[in-house]
Amino acid sequence: MSQRDGFGSGFLAGVLVGGLIGGVIGTLVAAGRNKDSDETQQPLLNSSRSEAKALKKKKSQLQANEESIELARRSLEDKIAQLNTAIDDVRQQLGTVNGNPLDLERQRSLDS
């Protein structure tokens, strides 16, 4: 019976001591990481106006690129439409030269 009583109090003491040690180690690690992140964020906080201008310039370049891509897409769509029209014209010309099968069938049905 005395061993069971000792187990409970030892368990509680271990939980408390382990919690304290873990808390101290966690606090030290978090403080170290916080210092590192402060050092990396400091240049961002002290950024100069030239960097802000460079960012604005990049944005305007991206917008110009997007606009040029849109213009190229529209131009390609127009060219595709022109090609489709030309293909349709050639089909019609070849159909009248070789005799359009649909027209021949219509004439046969009318003759019958």
The model scores a pTM over 0.75 = no
The pLDDT assigned to 1 comes to: 47
- Buried b / exposed e over 50-77, threshold 16 CB at 10 Å, is eeeeeeeeeeeeeeeeeeeeeeeeeeee
Residue 42 lies in a domain: yes
Please indicate, yes or no, if residue 22 is contained in any of the structural domains: yes
In a domain, 111, yes or no: no
Give domain status of residue 103, yes or no: no
How far CA 58 is from CA of 11, 51, 54, 55, 81, in Å, comes to 62, 10, 6, 5, 35
Look at 109 and 19; give whichever has higher pLDDT.
19
- Domain housing 42: 2-82
Give me the number of domains the chain comprises: 1
Residue 34 lies in a domain: yes
pLDDT digits (tens, 9 = 90+) for 39-94: 666 555 555 666 777 888 888 888 889 999 999 999 999 999 999 999 999 988 88
pLDDT digit string (tens) for 23-40?
A: 999 888 888 787 766 566
Is residue 28 in a domain?
Answer: yes
99: left (phi over 0), alpha (psi -120 to 50) or beta: left
